[in-house]
Each structure stands twice: as structure tokens, then as C-alpha cells.
Amino acid sequence: MFPIEIRDLLFWFAHDDLYTPKWSRHIFDEWKDVMKRRNVSEEEIKKRIGLANQAFPDAMVENYEVLIEGLELPDEKDRHVLAAAIKTNANIIVTNNLKDFPEDYLSTFGLSAKSADDFLTETIDLNQKIAVNSFRKLVVNRRNPDLDEYEVLDCLRRNGLNDTANYLHALI
């Protein structure tokens, strides 16, 4: 859910049905912690989480907690992510923490992990027109500060979405 530019692009892609987002209470707890460390007010934290749940009312995964203890990952703090993915029969876990989601282990659950950059470029590749329109909606709706398409692309690059930004740049 951080950085904001990555979150916003993921949300716009989901809004335009390029993929179906899923998250859990644990993921929101981590998001809250990051926002608190960045001095986001409690009121703003509640607003952002509320808006995410309002925009995607079917995204919240429930009843995954019982799976957590039986899972083995290099960082046991990440087991909740895998448990939620298993519970929803997901195909992909989007994370930039790939080292903690071993490919061989995930494949036993029919899952793979992809970086945000890889996931987004593959999503663009599947429907370029909708992806470009989603990106343009992100730009038009962006505030504080208002940025043009190229400035947003630069933000994406600064946040590790080099391939995504270059792909979108080539399409606009």
C-alpha cells in the first residue's frame, strides 16, 4: 500500500477491472503502521482505509487466520499474506519482498509471487488500452501536488516501477 504512487496505480487498475484486489486485516494493520511512521494523522489513516474498503467492498479476506500457524516462510510475519491468498484461491501475491516468498513453496499452493513492477507490466500487456486509461485517470485525479503524466511516470520510476513507467510512457 506504500508508496502512494504504486498503491494508486494498483487501485486504478483494479477499479477498471484489470485485476481483483484482495487484502486482509493484517495488511491494513501493516499499512496503518507505515502511515503512522510517516506522521499521517489518525483521522487520515481511517479515511484512507475506509475509502479503500468502500471502493473494493469484496476485497477483504475473512477467516484466513486459522491457516497462518501451519505455513512456513522465511519470515513468519509474512505468513498472513500467504494464508489470505490461499483462502481466496488467488494466483499471485504481489510483493516487492520476493525473497520471503519462495517460488517452490508457493507453487505447492498454486501461487506465485511477483514484484509490483512485474505484475503491473504484465497487466498492462493484457489490456493496454484500459491500462493507459486507468493511468490517465490516476493523473487527472491526483492532488497534492498536481502532476502531469510525465511527472507521475517519474514518480513511478523513483518508486521502483521502471518497467511499468517505461511501458506506459511508450503507450501514451
The 10s digit of each residue's pLDDT in 87-115 is: 999 999 999 999 999 999 999 999 999 99
- 34-62: per-residue pLDDT in tens? 999 989 999 999 999 999 999 999 999 99
- Grid cell 513492477 in the structure block, residue: 117
pTM over 0.85: yes
Q: Per-residue pLDDT for 4 more than 90?
A: no
| Domain containing residue 125 | 4-171
- Residue 21: half-sphere exposure toward Cβ, Cα within 13 Å: 25
So what's the pLDDT on residue 167? Answer: 98
- Residue 80: half-sphere exposure toward Cβ, Cα within 13 Å: 14
> pLDDT category, 143, cuts 50, 70, 90?
confident
Q: How many CB atoms lie within 10 A of CB 72?
A: 9
Q: What percent of the chain has pLDDT over 90?
A: 89
Domain count, the chain: 1
20: Cα separation from own chain's centroid: 11
- With 0-12 / 13-18 / 19 or more C-beta atoms within 10 angstroms meaning exposed / middle / buried, residue 61 is buried
- Beta strand segments in the chain, E: 92-94, 112-114
How many Å apart are CA 127 and CA 123, to the nearest integer? 7
So what's the pLDDT on residue 142? Answer: 86
How many Å apart are CA 94 and CA 97, to the nearest integer? 9
